[in-house]
Structure 1
Amino acid sequence: MGSKNHLVIWKKPHKPDWMTQETYDSYPDQMTVREFKIKGEVYVTTFQDHKKYNKVALANHYKQRWHIEINFNSLKTIMSMDHLRSKTPDMVHKEIAVHFLAYNLIRTLIAEACRNTERLPIQVSFKGVIQLFNSFVSLLSFSADCNKAHAILLHAIIKNKVGNRPGRIEPRAVKKRPKAFRRLNKSRELEKAEITKRMKKNSNKKCSSAP
């Protein structure tokens, strides 16, 4: 296989304190993995057949891991799941489920649009498709020919292309700054009533102190 593409044996390390003995015993005492090096970076994989699994192809697949971060960003930021509004565990589960349902709907539309083309779903802008879908809702709802409207939507989705971004590296930090205003923890109507009450109280104080 070569000096920079070979099999190595990893032996099981000592049991960490947080792991149970039962879990530790369930793992093998050793395992054989394939280790290779490309452009100064070392990769380890369980795909041991170097003829079937080319090391360059494996390294290129590994670089696509950035799409995992993109997908999480689509859920949390683009679909506003970074702040859950429910107050009970049951409602939180339902809120997350609805977000996943909407996410899968958009991803299904993207996959359907790419099915008969040479474009991959990961090459289509998720945010762009959401904006496009929102603008098409009325057309899909009231169109006399839903199949035609659906075909137009799929054709428009293909045009929302994103660039190829291999090896992308971003800091794990939040740029969004907290707002100076306090968080609204009660209904807006109740808050307005309390503000009105305070304004009347302050107005009465000014009137009583006037000469």
Structure 2
Amino acid sequence: MSAPPDGPAGAGGAWDASRAAFADAAGWFARTTAAVGDRWAGPGLGEWDVRALVGHTSRSLLTVEEYLGRPAAGAQVGSPAGYVRATRAIAAGPAVAQRGRDAGAALGAEPAAAVAALAGRVVALVGTCDGTELLTTVAGGMRLAQYLPTRTFELTVHTADLAAALGEPLEVPASAAAQALALVSDLAVGDGRAGPLLLAATGRRGLPPGWSVL
């Protein structure tokens, strides 16, 4: 799912498929957010209420826009899995929870409408790109073609969290699901953890409490 860091990362059908997966994930997020109704203060995920969960998820869109506005001189991170590994400490830090709450508050009085507008704007922006763009992430310089699948993953997983919190169907778009599962596979294989995942996915035995590829 990744091209060499200095090669034509956005060339060909792989970029078109990745861009489509991102658009499908963003659309699912917007549709699920529209189903929240008056449940913004209800339980979302962990210490987050629904608004904070939506706020955190919206950052998967906002960072694409923000990072494209900060061009990088070169690529230090060459794959989606490499980005996840490089940001594990950040993702586990206490600041993440507060950023989610802050992002939820920033959605304002009409959060569902704000999410719909944000999704439309960022999907349109990505539509103008070819994937070779160099952008500055918290892990260092990356090409957009390598960064975007990490955002599709975040959108897909956290929209599933939101749907579960709301009691909505887990109707994950096929394109987004395929890209998210590809990243899960890359992480599990690269970290030597494929065995437990394969056994669990095929019904042999469950995963230990707290087991994760992240």
- Range class of TM-score, shorter chain: under 0.3
What TM-score, normalized by structure 1, do the two folds share?
0.24
What TM-score, normalized by structure 2, do the two folds share?
0.23
Q: Which structure features the higher share of helix residues?
A: 2
